[in-house]
Amino acid sequence: MVTLEPPIEQLPCENLIYSRPESLAEIQTHYCPGCTHGVAHRLVAEVIDELEIQERTILVAPVGCAVFAYNYFDFDSAEAAHGRAPAMATGLKRVNPNSIVFTYQGDGDLASIGIAEAIHAATRGENITVIFVNNAIYGMTGGQMAPTSLIGQVTTSSPTGKDAALTGMPMHIAEMMAPLPGVVYSVRRSLHDARHTIQAKKAIRTAFEAQIQGLGFSIVELLSSCPTNWKMTPLDAAHWVRDEMIPVYPLGDFKVAEPLQNKNRSA
C-alpha cells in the first residue's frame, strides 16, 4: 500500500484543485449512480460560493428526487408542495427582497403540476432564479411519463411508448418561458459531458447574476440523465441525452436580456 506523504489534508493549498464547495453540506446524497442531480447541485453550490451569496441565499426545494436538496445545500431552505415552489419562492422573496431565492425543480414538478405557478411567477417578473432539471421522466415515483418525455419513450405509464396522439408532444419549457415579458434569462444546457457541464455552470452563474442585479425571472433548463428509470448504464444514459434528447431539446439561449448580453454565450 502506498501512503501519501504528507497526508492529503496537509497538502499545501496551491495543490488543492478540487474540494467541496462551502455551499454544499458535508453529507452523502441519496442520488443514484449516474444521476446528474448531484452535478447540478454542485454547479449551483460553486456559483453561490463564487458570487459570495451563501449567507443570503434561500432554496425552495421541489417534490421529486431533489426533495431533500435542503439537506445537501448549506443555507436556509424550504420544502415546497409539488409544483408550488415558484409560488412559495414568491412569498419568500416579496418579504425578503434582499435574499437570493431560487427554486430547484424537476420536469414533473415544473412542467406538469406546477406549470401555472411557474408561468405566472415568470410573467410577474418575480426576481427569482429557477433551476429546472429536465430528465424526461418522473424519477422519484419510479419512472412514469412526464410532459417532457420523448415520443416513443417507454416509461412505466407509457408501456408501449409515449404516443403524441394520446398525450401530446414534449414540452419545451425554456422556449415557452422566453417570450414572457418578465423573463430576463431563459436558456437550455446539458449535463451529459464535461464541456457541456462547464457551459451549464456559466449559465447558472448568469441566472443568479440576473437576480442579484434585480432584473427579473431567470431560468436554466438542464438536460439531465436518469439511468435508473431509463433502465440504462450511466454511460448509455449520457449518450441518450446527447443522441436522443438534444435533437428534441436544442441547447441554446432563448432569451438573454440586454444587461446580461455578451457574457457567457452558449458555444
Partner 1 sequence: MSKELLKGNVAIAEAAVRAGCEAYFGYPITPQTELLEHMSKRMPELGRVFLQAESEVAAVNMVYGAASAGVRVMTSSSSPGISLMQEGISYIAGSEVPAVIVDVMRGGPGLGNIQPSQADYNQVVKQAGHGDFHPIVLAPSTIQEAIDMMVLSFDLAEKYRTIVFLVLDGAIGQMMEPAELPPMQEVKKKRPFWALSSQEARRTNGELPQKNVITSIHLGAEALHKFNEHLQRKLAQIEANEVRYYENYMEDAEVAVVAFGTAGRVAETAVKTLRAEGVPVGLHRPITLWPFPEKRLQELADRVKAFLVVEMNAGQMFHDVREAVGREVPVEFLGRMGGLIPFPTEVEAEVHALWRRTEVLEMHRP
Ligand X SMILES: Cc1ncc(C[n+]2csc(CCOP(=O)(O)OP(=O)(O)O)c2C)c(N)n1
Residues that bind partner 1 (CB under 8 A): 54-56, 58, 60-61, 67-68, 70, 74-81, 84, 87-96, 98-99, 116-117, 120
Q: Out of ligand X, partner 1, none, which partner does residue 104 contact, by CB within 5 to 8 A per kind?
A: none
**CB of 73: closest distance to partner 1 in angstroms?**
8
Q: Could you tell me which of 48, 136, 172, 147 has the C-alpha nearest to residue 99?
A: 48
For partner 1, the closer CB: 101 or 251: 101
Identify the residue among 146, 183, 187, 241 touching ligand X (CB under 6 A): 146
Beta strands in the chain (DSSP E): 57-61, 77-79, 100-106, 129-134, 183-190, 217-223, 252-256
Residue nearer to ligand X on the CB measure, 31 or 215:
31
Grid cell for residue 57: 441565499
Q: Which residue is nearest to ligand X (CB)?
A: 106
Does position 215 interact with ligand X (CB under 6 A)? The reply is: no
Provide, rounded to whole angstroms, the least separation between the CB of residue 136 and ligand X.
8
List 183's β-bridge partners, or say none: 217
- Interface pattern 105-144 for ligand X (x via CB under 6 A): -xxxx-----------------------x-x-xxxxx---
Does residue 107 contact residue 143 with C-beta atoms inside 8 Å?
A: no
Expressed in angstroms, the distance from the first to the final Cα of the chain is 44
- 158 vs 206, beta carbon nearer ligand X: 158
Whole-angstrom CA distances from 73 to 23, 24, 217, 253, 262 are 6, 5, 22, 27, 30
Q: How many residues does the chain have?
A: 267
Check residue 87 for interaction with ligand X (CB under 6 A).
no
User: Count residues contacting ligand X (CB under 6 A)?
Assistant: 17
* Residues 86, 120: Cα–Cα separation, whole Å: 9
Strand spans (E) along 62-208: 77-79, 100-106, 129-134, 183-190
With CB under 5 to 8 Å by kind, the binding choice for 108 among ligand X, partner 1, none is ligand X
Nearest-5° Cα angle at 151, 123 to 255: 30
Q: Which is nearer to partner 1, 37 or 192 (CB)?
A: 37
- Contact call for residue 239 and ligand X (CB under 6 A): no
Minimum Å gap between C-beta 187 and ligand X is 19
When the beta carbons of 67 and 246 are compared against partner 1, the nearer one is 67
**Which residues have CB under 8 Å from 87's CB, separation 6+?**
80, 117, 121
With CB cut-offs between 5 and 8 Å by kind, which of partner 1, ligand X, none does residue 89 bind?
Answer: partner 1
In whole angstroms, the minimum distance from the beta carbon of 133 to ligand X comes to: 6
Asked if 63 is part of the footprint of ligand X (rule: CB under 6 A), the reply reads yes
Across the strands, what pairs with 79? Answer: 61
Q: Which residues lie near ligand X (CB under 6 A)?
A: 63-66, 82, 106-109, 133, 135, 137-141, 146
